[in-house]
Amino acid sequence: MMKSLGIVRKVDELGRIVLPIELRRKFDIEVKDSLEIYTEGDTIILKKYEPACIFCGDATNVINYNGKNICPECIKHLQGFVK
């Protein structure tokens, strides 16, 4: 369920908005962090980007290999195919 925080921001000429420091602190959003943008009906959703495994979608302890994120469990599984 969405909760209104009573915060209103205007979009500038370049389409940008400023996220209040309270929200950035609450969601651990730092300078240069990436945000994913989703839509649901007429709602825009921002979510802090967390790289996930390309196979299972798990975002825990992912390793970047040749530009692809792979989790340790999928690496173990893939090692079973290599002889």
Question: pLDDT by residue (tens digit) across 52-76?
Answer: 999 999 988 999 989 899 999 999 9
Q: How many CA atoms lie within 13 A of 14 on its CB side?
A: 3
Reduced to 3 states, what is the DSSP secondary structure of residue 46? strand
* Same structural domain, 40 and 25: yes
Q: Is the pLDDT of residue 37 over 90?
A: yes
- Token representation of residue 38: 């989703």
Percent of all residues in the chain with a pLDDT value above 70, rounded to a whole number: 98
Tell me how many domains the chain contains: 2
Is there a single domain that holds both residue 56 and residue 68? yes
- Domain identity same for 70 and 39: no
Long-range contacts of 17-22 (CB under 8 A, 24+ apart): 19/46
| pTM for this prediction | 0.62
Q: What is the mean pLDDT of residues 9-37?
A: 94
Q: Is 17 helix (H, G, I), strand (E, B) or coil?
A: coil
